[in-house]
Chain A
Amino acid sequence: MTADLQVRLYDRFGKLTAAVVALLLAATLPASAQTPTAARGGLPRMWDGKPDLNGVWQALTTANVDLQDHSARLGVPAGQGVVEGNEIPYQAWALTKRQENFKNRATADPEEKCFLLGVPRTMYAPFPFQIIHSPGYIAVFSEYAHTTRSIFMNSEHPPGPIEWFMGDSRGRWEDDTLVVDVKYFTDQTWLDRAGNFHSEDLHVVERYTMTTPDHIQYEATLEDPKVFTRPWKISLMLYRRKEQNVRVLEYECYAYAEQEAARRGELGPK
C-alpha cells in the first residue's frame, strides 16, 4: 500500500510531497518497508523497496528436455531433474497418456509447432527472457516466438473460464518473494519435450526469490485435479545474463518455417 500511495502522490503532487509523506510514513512503518532503493540484503531494489527484477534472465537446466532425471540420448544431454522427489504424481490414465506423448514427441510437442510454451515451461526453455518490472505490472518477454506474459499485481483473476496459452497471472509480494498465481490455461501446452502434460484445469503458483543480484530462486507448484493425484513442485535457478551487450533478440520460428516453405514453392497459389 505504501508504494501505491507513493506513486499516486508522485503523480499528483510531485517529488517533494511524496518525499515528505514518505518520511512521515517511515516513522510508523516496520523497517522492511523503510528503505526504498537502498541495497538492503545486498539486493538491487526498486524505489518502492522491493527487489528489482529488471534484467535479462535465463535458466541453465535440461528441464525443457525432461523435467525429471534422465540419461543422455541422441541429441539430448543427461540431466538432473527439477521435480521435488523426482516423481510427477500422474493419475493412471494420465501416465499412459504421458508415455504416448513421449513416443510421439518429435511431432506432437507444441514446441515443434512453434506454439507458445505456457507456464512454467517458458521460464526454463533454453531462451533468454527479459523482466520488465514496474510496481503495478510486471512483464516477461521471451526470445522464443515473442512470448509475452503480463503479471498484473495486487489484483484478482477475471471471471472465467478463459483458455489462454500463458494463463492469467496475478502477482503479489510476500516480503521479498514475488508470488504469482496463474490459472485459465489451455490443454494445448506441454511441460517439456518428454511429453509431460496438463489439462486446462492447471493451476500454478510461482515463487521468485532473488538470492543475490544475479540469481533468482524459482519455484512452481503445479496442481491439476484432472491429471495429477496431488500438487507437486519444481525448483530451479534463473541466472542474470551478464554480457555487456546482452539483448533479447527474436526467434520467430513459425515465420521462418512458413517462409522457407514459400521459397520452395510449397505455399501459395499455383
Chain B
Amino acid sequence: MRVRLSLVLTVVVALGVGATVIAQEGGGPRKTPIAGCPPVSRDFWPCAKAKAAAFRPARNPDGTPNMNGAWNPATANGSQNIEDFPGDAFLNPQITLIVDPSDGKVPYLPQWANKRQDNWDHYIDPLGTCYLTGVPRQVFAPRGIQIIQTPNMFAFVGEFAHQYRTIPTDTSPHIGDSIRLFMGDARGHWEGNTLVVDTTNLTDRTWLTISGHFHSDALRVTERFTLVDADTILYETTLTDPKVYRQPWTMAMPLVRFEKGHEVWEEPCFESDHDLPYLLREHKLWIGLTPPK
C-alpha cells in the first residue's frame, strides 16, 4: 500500500493551516507530556484516568461535560500504525496505542496472523481511495475532528475527506441488523463525565490503519470520551470481533484541543483524486474481508 498523504498535505499546506498536525504526522513519537502525563499510551492511560477522576469539566446548558471544539489525535500519526513500529521508507515510527492486551498487539486469531501483511502488500488502504474511515478510525485519522454537542446528539466532523458521524445520545434501538454502514450505527450515553458510545452495523470494508490492520463485519466498537483537563480528552476504544480477534482489545490515546480559532475545513478527497490509476498498477481495491459474490 502506498500512501496518499502527499496529495492531501499539499492541499493543506496550500491553505496555510494544519501545520501543527503535519509536524506530528511527519515526525516520530511525541515525547513532550500531554495534560501532565507521559504521551505514550500505556503510561498516559492510567495517568489520564486518575486526573480525569479529579477534574471538574465545564458543562453545557444540559449539564453534560462541554467537549465542543476541534481536537487533534496528537500521538496517532494519522492512523499509519497502531502497534509498535520502528519506521521504514513509507511509514513513521510508532509506539503502540494498544493498552490491552499488555503486549500492545492486535490479538488476531491464528488463521488471520498473516492477513495484515497481505493487506499491506496487495491492497490499497480504503482511505487511499477516499472511502469513509469507519469506526473508530475517524477519531485518529489525519488532521483531527470537530466535536459538536446538542442536547440529544454528539457529532463529529472529520477534516479528512469531509467525513461526519452522528451519535444520538438517546435510548432508541439500533437500526436493523441487515443495514450495514461504513460509519455504523452509534448510540451514546453518559456515565458520569464520560460519554460511552456503542457502535454496531459496521462493514468489513474499512481498515484501522494505513498499515493494513482490519476487522470483519462482526465488529462492535465501544468508545469512551473523558475530559482530563480543559484541553485534553482521554479517548479509549474497545474492539470486539469474534470472527477475527481472540479477545476484545483496547486502545487509549489523548485528543488535544487545537489552538483557539482552528477551523476544520473541507478536503474534497475523491473530487480531486487523480492517483487511483497509479495505485491500481500494483495494488487491488479493498472490497471487504469477505468480498460479496
- The answer to whether A133 and B150 touch (CB under 8 A), given A148-B163, A250-B132, A262-B284, is yes
Please encode chain B, from 4 to 20, with 1 for each CB lying within 8 Å of some chain A CB and 0 for all others: 00000000000100000
Q: Is the CB of B271 within 8 A of A10?
A: no
A: number of interface residues (CB 8 Å)? 47
Near A by CB (< 8 A), chain B positions 177-225 give 179, 181-183, 185, 205
- The answer to whether A252 and B179 touch (CB under 8 A), given A148-B266, A164-B266, is no
Q: Is the CB of A47 within 8 A of B266?
A: no
Q: Is the CB of B268 within 8 A of A165?
A: yes
Q: Is the CB of A255 within 8 A of B268?
A: no
Complex-state Cα separation, A115 to B270, whole angstroms: 7
Q: Is the CB of A12 within 8 A of B166?
A: no
Complex-state Cα separation, A158 to B264, whole angstroms: 13
- 20 inter-chain pairs at a CB distance below 8 angstroms, sorted by A residue, are A6-B61, A10-B66, A15-B61, A114-B270, A132-B166, A134-B148, A139-B148, A146-B132, A150-B146, A150-B264, A150-B265, A152-B263, A164-B265, A165-B268, A252-B131, A255-B182, A258-B285, A263-B291, A268-B280, A269-B283
- The answer to whether A165 and B266 touch (CB under 8 A), given A11-B58, A250-B132, A262-B284, is yes
- Which of the residues A133, A134, A141 comes within 8 Å of B68, measured between beta carbons? A134
Q: Is the CB of B271 within 8 A of A165?
A: yes
Complex-state Cα separation, A141 to B158, whole angstroms: 12
A116 at the interface (CB under 8 A from B): yes
Q: Which of A65-73, A81-89, A241-249 interfaces with chain B?
A: A241-249
- Which of the residues B61, B129, B175, B263 comes within 8 Å of A245, measured between beta carbons? B175
- Which of the residues A6, A148, A162 comes within 8 Å of B164, measured between beta carbons? A148
Please encode chain B, from 122 to 150, with 1 for each CB lying within 8 Å of some chain A CB and 0 for all others: 00000001111000000000000010111
B109 at the interface (CB under 8 A from A): no
Please encode chain A, from 178 to 220, with 1 for each CB lying within 8 Å of some chain B CB and 0 for all others: 0000000000100000000000000000000000000000000
